[in-house]
Chains A and B, each alone.
Chain A
């Protein structure tokens, strides 16, 4: 594997009263789409802020694109902060040119680069408007464009899809996939597992400032085995949770997901269920990241 795009070693950050990130060691491979997952307040944003020099770590080192995380390294990074930051009274176009110039892109060049992006994200007719005349979703897209104009090798996007409607989210997702095809490294932070599951090659799950697990998505999932059954039915399914071999039942309304214990036989459960319910769906699946996430976080909380 090539040099990691981001390498954290023993990074710690404490605020008054609580430790936000605790001894975090993490390597984010270059050229991948990496998901940084965790519940709210897990330390995702603090971690990314330390990578971007917005906060200084109390301990540990941050390496960026194979070198110490200095100004030159950060110039090759596009950063979308969790809380969007734009000048509300500035015109979209000028705002973008300024933010690019702050990254060292000549104004003329920045102006040339921004048109295709505005076009693509459906912002062309808004380019001469002030930011505070735009909807939240549009502001979000403007902010995204601002992270792209200096053509970064690495993109750090903190909750990139929050605040977007489904159409907007789809457009942004396409953009992200294209950036990935161009060989750029993407780091997404999110607490929305479905998004991450579809986009990411690898993930790290952090909770309470500590890394809980990390690795390629496929690997993480296989570690948990194909040990879930999705079941949709008519009738009273209250007995399902008590069946032998069923470790846990999650009711999703239209269907339930059963986690089964090691060595339990899914066929046995199918027979039991078919005998007492009208089944419309039966499927053996990998556990969703969401499930693993919830399980691990709950497990931590219980300790």
Chain B
């Protein structure tokens, strides 16, 4: 029995790992992933490279120079962000019109208008062609605010140097505390969680679909008839899940090994850029693998059952979506869970087996939950795997030999009861 299980698993594994698709996705996966991360960063840096040409129109009369000076000090990626252009002398309606024309003609990117009561009302205006670049607007906002606050302080009696001293910018350093020590973190762990979660999601969906397509192929080629007459469908089903899952883990192992090599190089690079690498702890790696295994068995079993009830991949699509809904929904809860990883909501949700693969992993990445929760999650997950594979194998057993019309839901329920 186990020799046959091994034969089935071995076939699945060998055929998968040898396939072009596997080689391509193994090699291209990291390349694409890096591309998705690096290309936008590079593009953004380039875009940022050109400073924003800005003029300050001062209707208040005395604040213009301070705002210009404050704007000139703003930096992005180590470069001054604003290029200050002279504003027309009369600050009235004519001046605004002139600046407006300059912006529309492209001589200026934007102008800042300081109304006469800017200090009292604490309100100014930013006019530009592009007002959706939140970063530039944020910088401009801070620049004007700084000048206004400095003025108010000076009016309240503080001397020039004292003002600079009082308004000195704060550098908030974030340090992540854990049992293994502490390390500085500037958003790195957020990105890491997001990337790893995306990889988890993609892997579960991809390998699940691989199982489903395999099942459909065997059905179309009528291989099942030979198989079912040779060994029990349950053995075949189990061998298939194990073999494909092993191929998935192999891919991770290859990625992990190459990442290990890369990260040495990358951490040197990151250290140079002043952005500390997020910590990749054994717990994180362990839970990544565990979450993949849990998610894979749950969803691949469903995928296999779906494959057995249809005749073509097109037919399968309609059924795949509802089956994958919990996995997709996990993404919606992502901000809530990351925001409060220890809340009752996050805890309960991350223990539900269908959500656990992504959300429990996210919690581990954000702030490791207590061990009893991890143990409970694993126990619930195992129970769910047993239940789901049992149900799926029954549907599979009957569906695999049904040809012709697609099974309806009531029929599938009947199969599960009867098989």
* A positions within 8 Å CB-CB of B: 49, 52-55, 71, 74, 77, 79, 81, 83-90, 94, 98-99, 101-104, 106-107, 146
Contacts and interface: CB of A to CB of B under 8 A. Distances in A.
Contact of A85 (B7, B8, B223, B231): B223
Contact of A83 (B7, B218, B225, B228): B225
A90 B229 CA distance: 20
B288 to A, nearest CB: 31
Contact of A54 (B7, B218, B221, B228): B228
Nearest to B239: A102
A153 to B, nearest CB: 15
B226 A79 contact: yes
Contacts of B3: 101, 104, 106
Interface residues of B, number: 22
A155 to B, nearest CB: 12
A89 B229 CA distance: 21
A258 to B, nearest CB: 44
Contacts of A101: 3-4, 7
Nearest to A107: B7
B222 interface: yes
A86 B217 CA distance: 10
Contacts of B223: 85-87
9 contacts: A53-B228, A79-B226, A81-B229, A83-B225, A84-B222, A85-B221, A85-B226, A87-B15, A102-B230
A104 B224 contact: no
Which 8 pairs across A and B sit closest by C-beta, in order of nearness? A101-B7, A85-B222, A52-B229, A85-B223, A102-B230, A83-B222, A81-B225, A85-B226
A53 B229 CA distance: 6
Nearest to B219: A85
B232 interface: yes
B65 interface: no
A54 B225 contact: yes
Nearest to A101: B7
Given A98-B7, A101-B3, A104-B4, A86 B221 contact: yes
Nearest to A110: B7
A286 to B, nearest CB: 37
A54 B225 CA distance: 6
Q: Decide if the interface of chain A is mainly helix, strand, loop or mixed.
A: loop
B230 A103 contact: yes
Given A85-B223, A87-B218, 18 more contacts: A49-B225, A55-B401, A71-B232, A77-B229, A81-B229, A85-B226, A86-B221, A87-B15, A87-B221, A88-B221, A101-B4, A101-B7, A102-B7, A102-B8, A102-B226, A102-B231, A104-B3, A146-B226
Nearest to A81: B225
B11 to A, nearest CB: 5
Nearest to A87: B223
Interface in B213-272: 217-218, 221-232
Q: Decide if the interface of chain B is mainly helix, strand, loop or mixed.
A: helix
Contacts of B14: 94
Contacts of B229: 52-54, 74, 77, 79, 81
Nearest to B14: A94
Of B224, B225, B227, the most chain A CB neighbours within 10 A belong to: B225
Contacts of A71: 231-232
A90 B15 CA distance: 8
A122 to B, nearest CB: 22
Contacts of A99: 226, 230
Contact of B225 (A77, A85, A98, A102): A85
B227 A102 contact: yes
A25 B233 CA distance: 28
Contacts of A86: 221, 223
Nearest to B232: A71
A55 B400 CA distance: 11
A98 B3 CA distance: 11
A99 B7 CA distance: 9
A49 B231 CA distance: 14
A94 B230 CA distance: 17
A81 B230 CA distance: 12
Contacts of A107: 7
Nearest to B403: A83
A269 to B, nearest CB: 50
Nearest to A84: B222
Nearest to A89: B15
A50 to B, nearest CB: 11
Contact of A102 (B4, B222, B401): B4
Contacts of A88: 221
Given A71-B232, A98-B7, A101-B3, A81 B226 contact: yes
Contact of A81 (B7, B222, B232): B222
A108 to B, nearest CB: 12
Contacts of A77: 229
Contacts of A102: 4, 7-8, 226-227, 230-231
Interface string B13-32: 01100000000000000000
A141 B225 CA distance: 17
A164 to B, nearest CB: 18
Contact of A74 (B221, B230, B401): B230
A143 to B, nearest CB: 8
Interface in B1-53: 3-4, 7-8, 11, 14-15
B367 to A, nearest CB: 47
